Structure 1
Amino acid sequence: MTEPAWTYPTADRDDTVEVLHGTSVPDPYRYLEDPDADRTRAFVTAQNAVSEPYLAGLEARAPFLASTTDLLTAAHAGTPWERGGRYFRLANPGELDQDQLLVGDSLDQLLTAPRVLLDPNTFSADGTTALTAARVSPDGALLAYGLSEAGSDWRTVAVRDIATGADLPDRLDWTKWVAPTWLPDSSGFLYWRYPAPGSSTRTATEPGIDTAPETDTALDADALTDAMGAGELVLHRLGTDPADDEVLWTPAERDWMVDPWVSPDGTLLVLTASPGTDSRSTVEVRRISADGGLGPVMTVVGELTDAQTVVHAETGPDGAVLYLRTERDAPRGRLVAVDPDAPEAPWREIVPQHATDVLVDADPAADTFVLVWSRDAAHHLEIRDREGSLRSALELPGDQGPVSVTAVNTRAAGTEVFLGVTSFTREGTAHRLDLTTGQVRELPAPAGRRAPELPATRSERVSAPSADGTPVPMTLLARADLPAGPRPTLLYGYGGFDVPILPSFSALFASWVAAGGVLAVANLRGGGEFGAAWHEAGMGVHKQRVFDDVIGCAEHLIATGVTTAGQLAVHGRSNGGLLVGAAMTQRPELFAAALPTVGVLDMLRFHRFTIGWAWTSEYGDPDDPALFPALLAYSPLHRLIPGTAYPPTLINTGDHDDRVVPAHSLKFGAELQRCQAGPGPVLLRVDTRAGHGMGKPARARAAEYADQLSFAAEHTGLVPDTAS
């Protein structure tokens, strides 16, 4: 056997052992949890010194880098929205690291001669400052926007005058999660804030942002790793000191968070609250007086039983009415009307639960609701009146297979609806629906460099049996001009947090298929594709079912001749990174390559960092002795066994990831390198000035995807091919 062309850096191991519920758990790499420690910095530098030349030398990297760069730096634009007669959209003429926010005084002006309202590319030389929130006031006069630095979830909120492009003095620091929610009179907005982490301090009353927020000095180890305290919902009145912002809602327990919503007529404030990432929620309503004052709370749904999403609310001559998309007595969702003055009265059903389809969303426009339904993990639309009667069913544009809706932008009294649509084979397109005529037209693409033409593809829906016999659906995608038969295959999944994995364009997916590989996208339990029961079947103590599902999918792909074990790569991000870590440690022989990206890989300590405690509603609490055994049983870090042949593995993380902290990947990579007895490499690729993925510059994403694709190609035998 020839010696490998790489040598792993020496990783210090210490004698740290923690006794958890009577079980001794070694943790020899705990020092890597401190991203600012000298040993951690040295470890990261040494790992990149191994992975960078290896990846750069792969034969497929150059063509994959060309493909992903071409796709990610082409001109593109998001779905428009309207406020106060002005029209807005995010767009990029190509080549820019970050999308610009554009504005026009009419839709035609937005599409043909827009004005750049905000350009994040001017805020940092390296393109890592990202626009992560943009909310326009109801009168269309002001923009509340959030900027994040180097991929962090932390954001600084500022306010811009849309007519002049000048920033107001208002500046709000240490905010996350909730985008600014304007009051109906545009005098202020609600937002979610936290205390400054650790000892870092920042001035809350600095002038408006003229350059990038100086977040680098604040984003030290405390900001990036420490478990966060409880946040609070506050109201900021323009021109006032943020220190005086009125606290509207404080959680009784740390893990509760709230999503605010203001009715279009400005009479009601609706607060939807959940513990952590739990889909189940409570709903509270407060009246808003003519002078912007808030009345007492009226509890509409006070028990944590089912998922509720506010759809619309208004106050008329007969009183107030609140429309909810609810899973109460309807695990696939239904639309109901509730009297907030009499919440215990029977709810009036507007649209009942469907026999098979999932009600994803409902948006008010004119006197109708635009309903988004999911059928077998793809979307279709209906227009229904306020009593639930069907007016029309809309065919969504899709040239090669199923599609999903990425945005429905409406105004409650308006007759135009803007739709964002995407598929596996086509990047997102924007469409305008005229409710008065029923006409749907695709809006023109922005000026700039066009993306390369991709080869025609064929798609197929199949099902794989899981360990308990449950059928697990998958979408298979391949080039139409290539014959069937065993081919290098990339299996992708997520399986958690009620998140549906739907048809969606990805430069990584498109480049793999264009190169001649097969893409398999699995709809695993734990996800939101098929309603509450599908999610609940893969959460908490049932999480192992999700890993059984992806293993069943892998076995099915091999058994049916789509691929072979020597041609199958598995990939996932975040919770999907956990999926990859669990699958490759439980069944290493199934995979020729593994690509865990920003993964949750230490299931015994995930809750001790930043927002990780919010995930206990999904995974279970490691501090609970009843749940600890299940978490220990599948925790990827703790399942690694020395002397085992694991598949070639490329672990990706970012040094500024303050959602899934990089310690997960660093500790897993160090131990996997120690345990690896197989011939394939175990590489750690650590991006600097990058986080969980949000706001990553286009060329940095292209490089990450090229490294992952070329690594997968190297170990599955894919030689990038060009369609004729």
Structure 2
Amino acid sequence: MPPSYPESRRADVVEDLHGLRIADPYRWLEDPDAPETADWVRRQNAVTDAHLAELQDRDWFRRTMGAIVHRPRAGVPQKKGGWYFVSRNDGLQAQDVWYVAATLDELLAGGRVIIDPNTLSDQGTDSVSSFTVSADGCYLAYTVSEGGSDWQTFRLLEVATGQPVDDVAIQTKFSSPTWLPDSTSYLYTDFSHAGHAAGTQTAALGGAKLRLHRLGQQQDRDELILEFPENDQLMFWPELSHDHKLVVVTVVEGTENRNRLWVYRVEDVDGLSRLSGPVKLIDEPVAEFSLVRVDGSVLYLSTDLDAPRGRIVRCDLDAFEASGRLELEPLLAEGGATLQAATAAGDVLVTFALQDATPKIDRYALDGRHLGPVEVPGGSVVAVESEAGDSEAFIGMSSVTSPTRAFLLDPATGTVRGLDGLVPAGESTFSPPEVTVQRRSATSADGTAVPYFLIAPAGTDLSRPRPTLLYGYGGFKIPVLADYRPGWSAWLAAGGVLAIANLRGGGEFGSDWYDQGRLANKQNVFDDFIAVGEHLKQTGVTTTGQLALHGRSNGGLLVGAVMTQRPDLAAVALPGVGVLDLLRFHKFTIGAAWISDYGNPDDPDQFQTALAYSPLHNVRPGTSYPATLVLTGDHDDRVVPLHSHKFTAALQHAHSGQAPVLTRVEVATGHGMGKPTQMVAAEWADLLAFAAHHTGLRPAG
């Protein structure tokens, strides 16, 4: 028998949208500060906790996930302002700790603690998301997020002493300080945050402004560099060239993958950096452009203009200013692999591309000559940290069962050596299972081949059906690879099979692949995921009763759409922090930025497209849905929890089957970034125990 669900009041809320009457009975759940919402969350969590407590293997998954996250680990070194930095965790810390040293050898020997986020809050829920260092290496600015919020506060330190710098506390989102050459001023993106200050978690984000802040100056005196009052969805990403002569600003609308590129020259006026310009190098967002490096007046750019899989071009800024014509000289032509990023390293270019969703790293001379591949093992590139003119570069790789492993690259020779000595000493009781990774392909509804990774414990007989976890994302041109997530090791150690799908809408195969999975083509993403699920069953890997679907954020939308379109596809649905109300997503926090993928519900035609797949609006009374665990965080101000709350209430009201439909609402966490180690372990343990129970997976031991 399914559990007895808490009552979810159905209000008489109906709107006329483009001539259609749309009911929204759970709109009261949109207010996270309302006592009624808090009480609903408390009662839902109580029912979920009771169900999870009865799962016979929950303790096994808790122990296993505890052992996994307690493995000592380190990040990828960064060299900034002449200093070396790296994050470490001894396996017992809620947040990673940042260390600094004057040399790489000193960093490998331990270094000195420069930022310890574990001191910021008693529960370990405050985190550091990024940091930047002034050009002279004097100051470090880092961003602090409280309780997983996207809102961040800048804090400053002296690198040499670790002492705090007395300066105004600036709050913003999606921005890090970009230091100017004078090392006493930086650029940042300023948003209106009246809603945040008032405690309104769901308030829509105000228009962005690019400002210049000088240390010791009040924020209301910060110089306005750039704004677009006529379009409050434009965002700015400034970058200082390595020669400190130019600031290149990417101007992009929301999460669109086409952008403008404006260039400001940096001048020294009485010891202070000032910007002149801008030079509107690219002022029509017809393609994606990003800065790779600067060589005098020549800019090296990566772009997908006339190259869906990406290429590298260069242009002369002085010539553009003189003629007004943009001449793009081809340097690296589009190839069979999909270019993901290109960085300057020493006097060469290092490129990261995907060959059938597998990383491929290469070195090129500045004239385009191929200097050779960079041989590093792993299924995903975590980071490439390098800079023009520097003789050292750092690469981080991960695999399905192994977190970040760092390597030192000599850009001139291509020599690589591992930096395993960065990982702190400590003991771990978990040994990741040996696995096999295969590439397979399904056929989507329109005949498109949809590849996926099939990962199983070594020695598994894949001709006999096994409980299988199918993961996907399919959006925003973000590639999904065979990379590390803490829960994968536990599921595989329990004997389960893992499938990771490369759906349209992602970035694995270039801009065309992305365009085929967004806006009017969004249904292709769901068809692709369904096709992979059916292929797993047709090839004997699993059965309907042994298949679980999982995705987060846009992947949560994916699972919500697929389970409402095909409730018979799988036994379990696990939508995490999902965008589930496609008619109102654009009204809250950063939601309007996603119009690039989902369309604008205020447009009649795009409204119809969204309505056709919006999970909340396609829940049908009398339908038997899979065993469902909807996951969210009460401080998520990116995909606000109202999506998950309303979807849960609608499912519980409509569900006619015996499988449970539950929600797990994490307290004092947000969309996922910066979540404390123990919370990460607890969430994965509950998710996997739920999936295992309802697919018949029984871990040995």
TM-score, length basis structure 2 = 0.97
Deviation at 1:479, TM superposition (A): 0.4
Aligned twin of 1:122? 119
Q: Which residue does the alignment assign to 2:372?
A: 392
| Structure 1 equivalent of residue 72 of structure 2 | 75
- C-alpha displacement at 1:618, in angstroms? 1.1
| Structure 2 match to 1:574 | 553
* 1:295 equivalenced with 2:273 (yes/no): no
> Does 1:416 find its partner at 2:396?
no
User: Is the contact between residue 184 and residue 265 of structure 1 (CA under 8 Å) also seen in structure 2?
Assistant: no
Partner of residue 224, structure 2: 247
107-116 or 166-175, larger mean C-alpha shift: 166-175
Distance in 2 between the 1:308 and 1:495 partners? 22
Does the 8 A contact of 2:491 with 2:688 survive in 1?
Answer: yes
User: Structure 1: how far apart are the matches of 2:413 and 2:307?
Assistant: 33
Contact kept? 1:650, 1:708, Cα under 8 Å: yes
The answer (yes or no) to whether the contact 2:88–2:424 under 8 Å persists in 1 is no
User: How far apart, in 2, do the equivalents of 1:436 and 1:334 lie?
Assistant: 22
CA distance in 2, matches of 1:630, 1:617: 14
* Equivalent position amino acid for 1:336 in 2: V
Rounded Cα–Cα distance in structure 2 between residues aligned with 1:325 and 1:437: 23
Q: What do residues 150-179 of structure 1 show as CA deviations (whole Å, max 9, x unaligned)? A: 010000001110111111111333301021
Residues 364-398 of structure 1, C-alpha deviations (whole Å, 9 max, x = no match) = 12211011111111111111110110112122224
Alignment match of 1:346 (pick from 323, 327, 336): 327
CA distance in structure 1 between the aligned counterparts of 2:86 and 2:627, rounded to whole angstroms: 42
Look up the match of 1:209: none
Q: Distance in 2 between matches of 1:438 and 1:28?
A: 61
Mapping 1:578-657, distance limit 5 Å:
578-657=557-636
Aligned length: 690
Q: Displacement, 1:445?
A: 4.1
Q: Does 1:676 align with 2:650?
A: no
Give 1:324's match in structure 2, choosing from 301, 306, 318: 301
SS at 1:63 equivalent: helix
Partner Cα distance (1:105, 1:56) in 2: 50
8 Å CA contact 1:79–1:407 kept in 2: the answer is: yes
Contact 1:74 1:448 in 2 (8 A): no
Q: 1:718 aligns with which of 684, 697, 700?
A: 697
CA contact (8 A) 1:335 1:349 kept: yes
Shift of 1:450: 4.3
User: Where has structure 1 moved over 4 Å in runs of 4 or more?
Assistant: none
Partners of 2:664 and 2:552 lie apart in 1 by 14
Contact 2:168 2:218 in 1 (8 A): no
Structure 2 letter corresponding to 1:165: G
Task: Map residues 418-567 of structure 1 onto 2, 5 A cutoff.
Answer: 418-443=394-419, 444-451=421-428, 452-484=430-462, 485-567=464-546
In structure 1, runs of 5+ residues without a counterpart are: 202-217
Q: Per the alignment, in what secondary structure is the counterpart of residue 166 of structure 2?
A: strand
Q: Determine if the alignment matches structure 1 residue 178 to structure 2 residue 175.
A: yes
Q: Distance in 1 between matches of 2:401 and 2:631?
A: 25
CA-CA distance at 1:130 after TM superposition: 0.3
- CA drift of 1:57 comes to 2.0
Shift of 1:720: 1.1
Cα deviation, 1:257-295, whole Å, max 9, x if unaligned, reads 011011011111101111110011110111111331111
Query: 1:345 Cα deviation (Å)?
Result: 3.9
Tell me, in whole angstroms, the C-alpha distance in 2 between the residues paired with 1:548 and 1:15: 34
Q: Write the letter of the residue equivalent to 2:376.
A: L
Contact 1:267 1:314 in 2 (8 A): no
CA distance in 1, matches of 2:218, 2:171: 15
Identity within the alignment, %: 47
Q: Does the 8 Å CA contact 2:300/2:313 hold for their aligned counterparts?
A: yes
Matched with 2:29 is 32
Aligned to 2:674: 695
Deviation at 1:314, TM superposition (A): 3.7
Contact 2:177 2:188 survives alignment (8 Å): yes
The residue type equivalent to 1:280 in the other structure is: R
Of 69, 81, 95, the match for 1:98:
95
| Alpha-carbon offset, residue 437 of structure 1 | 4.0
Distance 2:326 2:610 in 1: 42
> Does 2:24 align with 1:19?
no
**Per the alignment, in what secondary structure is the counterpart of residue 318 of structure 2?**
coil
SS at match of 1:585: helix
What is the CA-CA distance between 1:83 and the residue it aligns to? 2.2
Hey, what's the Cα distance between the residues in 2 that align with 1:85 and 1:613? 40
Partner of 1:286: 264
**Aligned partners of 2:96, 2:480: CA distance in 1, in Å?**
24
8 Å contact from structure 1 (residues 494, 572) kept in 2: yes
Other-structure match for 1:211: none
SS of structure 1 residue aligned to 2:573: strand
Whether contact under 8 Å (1:622, 1:631) holds in the other structure is yes
Q: Gaps (5+ residues) in structure 2?
A: none
Shift of 1:578: 0.2
Q: CA–CA distance in 1 between the matches of 2:671 and 2:484? A: 19
Query: Is the contact between residue 264 and residue 314 of structure 1 (CA under 8 Å) also seen in structure 2?
Result: no
CA distance in 2 between partners of 1:721 and 1:592 (Å): 22
User: How far, CA to CA, are the matches of 1:314 and 1:547 in structure 2?
Assistant: 45
Write out per-residue CA displacement over residues 559-587 of structure 1, whole angstroms, 9 at most, x where no aligned residue: 01010000000000000000000000000
Moved more, 521-530 or 133-142: 133-142
CA distance in 2 between counterparts of 1:259 and 1:90 reads 24
CA distance in 2, matches of 1:397, 1:654: 35
The AA in structure 2 aligned to 1:94 is: G
Q: Is the 8 A contact 1:383 1:392 kept in 2?
A: yes
Q: TM-score, normalised by structure 1?
A: 0.94
Displacement of 1:305 in angstroms is: 0.7
Counterpart CA distance in 1 for 2:319 and 2:443 is 47
The answer to whether the aligner puts 1:63 opposite 2:73 as a matched pair is: no
Q: Distance in 2 between matches of 1:84 and 1:51?
A: 49
**C-alpha contact (below 8 Å) 1:184/1:264 kept by paired residues:** no
Q: Is the 8 A contact 1:174 1:195 kept in 2?
A: no
CA distance in 1, matches of 2:562, 2:326: 48
Deviation at 1:359, TM superposition (A): 1.2
Tell me whether 1:49 sits opposite 2:49 in the alignment: no
SS of residue in 2 equivalent to 1:494: coil
* 2:655 maps to amino acid: Q
Contact 1:88/1:103 (CA < 8 Å) preserved in 2? Answer: yes
Alignment match, 1:149: 146
Question: Structure 1 residue 229 and structure 2 residue 210: aligned?
Answer: no
Between the aligned partners of 2:608 and 2:540, the Cα distance in structure 1 is 37
SS at match of 1:695: coil
Q: Which residue does 1:210 correspond to in 2?
A: none
How far did residue 436 of structure 1 move? Answer: 4.1
Residue 361 (structure 1) shift: 1.0
Matched position secondary structure for 1:341: helix
CA deviation digits over 1:511-563, x for unaligned, max 9? 10111000000000000000000000000011000000000011100001010
User: 1:35 is aligned with what amino acid?
Assistant: P
Corresponding residue of 2:346? 366
Deviation track 1:92-123 (CA, whole Å, cap 9, x = no partner) reads: 11210001110011111111121100101001
Amino acid at match of 1:641: R
Measure, in 2, the Cα distance between the counterparts of 1:88 and 1:13: 53
